[in-house]
Structures are given as structure tokens and as C-alpha cells.
Chain A
């Protein structure tokens, strides 16, 4: 006996519902997989990688930018072997780690090599990179537009207009350790683009042949910009240390500032370059005394 039309309709509905459920499940699985991928806390890059890979240890990506886009906020990009990994625009909390034994290059011919426009609460760290530019008046090696905390360790930056350049719109804490900046117009340059404070420290750094200034603080009219420079060498540039603007302070301790063609230490427009009176400031064309001092605590 044939089924009644009502029963047939019910069966059809049941089949359709089952199908919809299956589709929903498939979509959820797919979404989950995609999310899980985007949320990987470590993305690996290698000379033999491919940007279409998932960035796992066994299937690394090739370039920094796709790795950045794939890694979870607060995650890490890990370099596996020596190669160039391309320019990088950082927009979230992130660590880029090149281990000793590997050369991780970022080489550009124009523009900024590494640009950081992250959130005011974001933390970024860069370790072990060799950042190379297209000429000593072009772009920045590491540009900071906005960030919460930034640490730069064991890096070499060369051949840019600005080696490490902060023009921050967010209150930023910047620490630079054991890093070499050379053959740029400006070595370390800290400024603010809004009424916020930028506090920086640089320890064990080498600033060679920075033809305009080795290290400079240049605050806008509102907000303070300061740099504490410790155990660093500023050699063979234009002005060694410069503070420009009433709320700019540059503190130097245990530093050697020598062979600069214009000034060793200089302040303009109310800025302060102050010394802990333990620096070697010799053989600069001028500015062989600090404009001010501060005491060890």
C-alpha cells in the first residue's frame, strides 16, 4: 500500500533537516580548522618554506608577512634557517625570534623594513634580525607608529634614513639591547605624534656613522620623550647625542661618544642631554662636555 502524501512530506522534511544538520556540522568543522590555524601560537619560517603552508614546524612558511598574518596575537614567528624573509608590517602582539647560528635578513630597497602599528596594549619583540635598507636617506629600518611595549635585541640595522624610528601615537615603552645601527642618517630617533609619553632605554648598543644624529629625542609640544643610553658607543657620525624640544631628555651613562664630525652632545630648544659623569666624550669636533648632569641613585 502506497504511503500517504502527508507521510511522504514528513520523510522529506526529516531528510532535509538531516542534510542541513550535516552541512552545519561540516561548516563548523571547517571554521574550527581555520580558526585553529589562525590561532597557532608559533609559526615557523624557513628558506625552503612556502607561504601556502600552515607554518607548522614541518611545513614552514617562506616570508614574515604571511607568518604574521597567520600567527595568533601574542604568538611567535620562529626563523629556522638563514635566509631573507621580506618586509614586515606588525599590527598585533608578536615576537620574531632568530636564534644564534642563523642569519634572518629583512632586506628592502625602499620604504620601511619593519613597521609597527600595533595597539596601545600590544607587546612586540624582535630578536636577532639583520635589517638592511636601500640607502642612507631612505625609509626606516624599524618604524614604530604605535605599540605598548617594544623590545629589540641582538639586531643589526643598516643603510636607512632612520635606523630605529619611533613616532608614536600611543604611550610606548621601548627597550633596545645589544643592537648595532650603522650608516643611517639617524641612528635611534624617538618622537611622539600625539600628547603621549615615549620612554626608551638602549643598552650595549653601537651607533656608527649615523651622519645626522647617533641618538636623538625630539618630543612634540605635548608629552615627554626620553632615552636612557647605557654602555653604548656613538662613533663617527654627525651629532652624537641630541635632545630637541622642551620635554626631550637624553640620559647617558658609561657611554663612549667619539669622532663625531659636528657635536658630541648637544641640546636645542630646551631639550636636555645629561650625563651621569661616567662617560668618555672625546675627540668630537665640538660638544665635548655635556650640557647637564644627573646623579646615580
Chain B
């Protein structure tokens, strides 16, 4: 009887050890701080420099929190849902595409923790069409997050190019939003700055609106743009509700309406040192204000 119990224990021990051995490589792989992807990669690879993965999502799931997904060569790497701190890095000279075809499909969706930091660098994100702007498709959709940095990206053919609807802080640098119904859209109190960006061929270039739950005593949603170019959009800037757009050193050319400031409270546009040419209407204000702010 004792012998039987012992052999059972030994069996259990061996089984546990085998299970641990099986799990260990998976854990090690999950903890890698850099996962590489390449056109010649395979999602069943470990994502090391010599054995890259093929798609962003597989790389995201394998990389350690706070780690890097590094693109090695030009290819499409598929849609990506981000749920943790991670950096997606495409170097200059390489095209890292995220191409989606459905009219309601989004390219990259950030839905992470409130202190997580996400960086997207050098991506080209292509959608299935802007439609009338109601499909909800986004090139980059920023939901809950601590900080999101978007650099050197191109986003085109979505209902919204870059949509900021939750999170703490977003910076967009040197990025193009092209042929989207809304180029850059913000609908919540998120610290946001956009610098050296281009919004082209969008019915709405930049949209900053509150969600109608804001009270007079709430802080304004302030969106700051510097050195941005708005070209051939239908409406350059739209501020609605308790929302303000500050622009400095921007170029606004070939726009139907430079500004629409609609609806309630104190929607506003404050400009400074803009270059404005060949716009149809100039500034129109509907129950809001347009103003200039002093440089400091």
C-alpha cells in the first residue's frame, strides 16, 4: 500500500516537473523585452532577432510589458489591439504597414491600463474608406491608457484617422492624417499636443468636442497644435461644447471653412501666427468664439 502511494507521489512529481518544463519556455518567451517581426517571420517563432514573428498581434502577446516590437523589414503586419505598455518601432527606411479592409475595421486600438505607456513610431496605417464618418473605424483608437506617443506615422482612409476618446495624455508628432472623415478627433479630457502634423483631404481636419456631459465649472478641453498643416479639408477646425483649440505657427490652406465652433458653452479657437490662404469662408463662428492668444 505504502509502495503504491509512493509510486503515485513519484508519478505526480514527474508529471509536475514535466508540466513545469513545458510551461517554462513559454514564460521565458513571454518575458522577452524585444520581439522582432519580419516579412519572413513566423508567428510560431520565438520572436528573437534570428527567429522573428510575422504579425504585430502575436508579437504584442509575446513581448514583456514595457518592451519593444521591432520591425526588421518592409511588410504588412496586421491589425493590433494593445492592452499593455509597449513600443512599436519601425525605423526610417522600412515601411511597416497595418492595412485593414472592412469599412468598420480599425488599425490599432489602445485599451490599456491607466499608467501604461504606448509608443507607435513609423507606421503606415490604411483603412477601408472614410465613408460618412459614422462607421467608427479608426486608424489609431486611443482608449484607456497612461501616455500614448504617435510619431512619424501615416494614417489614411478611416472614419477617424486618430481618435482620442479616453486616456491621460497623448502626443502626436510628425504624423499625416489623410482622407479620413475626421483627421484628428478628441472627445474627452486628455492632455493632447500635436506638432508638425498634416491633416489633408479630411471633411473635418481637427475636431475637439466634449461629450455634452461637461458643466460650466469643468475645465475646458484644450487641444494644442503647433506647426501643423491643414490642406484641402472641408472644415479645418471644429470645436464644440466646452472645448478650445490653440494653434501656433500652423498653415491653413484651401479649406472650405477654417473654423466651425458650434453648440454650447465656450467652444473656441485661439490662433497665433498662422499662415492662411485660399480658404473659402475664413472664420465662421456659431455660438462660440474665435480669438488670438499672445505668445509668451
Contacts and interface: CB of A to CB of B under 8 A. Distances in A.
B34 interface: yes
A180 to B, nearest CB: 7
Interface string A95-113: 0000111110101000000
Given A208-B171, A209-B169, A233-B195, A183 B147 contact: yes
A83 B91 CA distance: 12
A180 B149 CA distance: 11
A194 to B, nearest CB: 34
Contact of A47 (B33, B49, B91, B119): B49
Contacts of B93: 99-102
Contacts, number: 107
Interface string A259-293: 10000010000000001011111110000111000
Specify which of B70, B149, B169, B272 lies most central, judged by the most chain A CB atoms within 10 Å of its CB. B149
Main secondary structure of the interface of B (DSSP, over half): strand
A107 B34 contact: yes
B191 A282 contact: no
Contact of B91 (A82, A180, A280): A82
Question: How many A residues touch the partner, as a band?
Answer: 35 or more
A60 interface: no
A92 interface: no
Nearest to A231: B227
B272 A209 contact: no
B33 A102 contact: no
Contacts of A83: 49
Question: How many B residues touch the partner, as a band?
Answer: 35 or more
A235 B70 contact: no
Contacts of A233: 171, 173, 193, 195, 226
Contacts of B49: 47, 82-83
B293 interface: yes
A208 B92 contact: no
Interface in B224-248: 224, 226-227, 246, 248
A280 B224 contact: yes
A182 interface: yes
A100 B147 contact: no
A235 B147 CA distance: 11
Contacts of A169: none
Contact of B296 (A103, A105, A279): A279
B191 A235 contact: yes
Given A83-B49, A103-B89, A283-B224, A206 B70 contact: no
A281 B149 contact: no
Nearest to A98: B91
Task: Sort A-B residue pairs by CB-CB distance and give the 9 closest, nearest first.
Answer: A101-B93, A259-B191, A281-B296, A100-B92, A236-B169, A280-B248, A283-B222, A256-B226, A235-B193
Interface of B: 33-34, 36, 49, 66, 68, 70, 72, 89, 91-94, 117, 119, 147, 149, 151, 168-169, 171, 173, 191-193, 195, 222, 224, 226-227, 246, 248-249, 272-273, 293, 295-296
Given A236-B191, A282-B224, 8 more contacts: A180-B149, A182-B117, A231-B227, A256-B224, A258-B193, A281-B296, A282-B246, A283-B222
6 contacts: A100-B91, A132-B68, A159-B66, A180-B149, A206-B171, A279-B296
